Amino acid sequence: MTEDLDVDAMLERFRDRAAAVKERSLPPVAGPERQKFVAQAEVDYQDFAMLGDASWEFEDGILTLEIDLRPTAA
């Protein structure tokens, strides 16, 4: 399993998913259903973008993803 693991490719897929969520068009729904769709898209984007930005380390059979949530310097 670990010989086939390409973590960089996995993280690229998460970046691609984040971009796809950002570009996703809204379905023809209104009211509360629209709000649920928008809220879910925001959570999906956040999750995919955070994982896509992770750095990683693989040591002794353990994959560790590190996500820096500190604000960037202005």
Task: Look at residue 40 in the predicted model and tell me its pLDDT.
Answer: 93
Q: What angle do CA 19, 51, 54 make, to 5 degrees?
A: 120
Task: Look at residue 55 in the predicted model and tell me its pLDDT.
Answer: 96
Phi, psi of 30, rounded to the nearest 5 degrees: -135, 170
pTM greater than 0.85: no
pLDDT digits (tens, 9 = 90+) for 50-68: 999 999 999 999 999 999 9
In the predicted model, is pLDDT for residue 2 greater than 90?
A: no
pLDDT digits (tens, 9 = 90+) for 9-27: 999 999 999 999 999 888 8
- Judge contact between 53 and 62, C-beta under 8 A: no
Direct distance between the N- and C-terminal alpha carbons of the chain, in angstroms, rounded to an integer: 42
Tell me the residue ranges of DSSP E strands in the chain: 55-59, 62-66
Question: Taking the alpha carbons of 36, 42, 46, 52 in that order, is the dihedral positive or negative?
Answer: positive
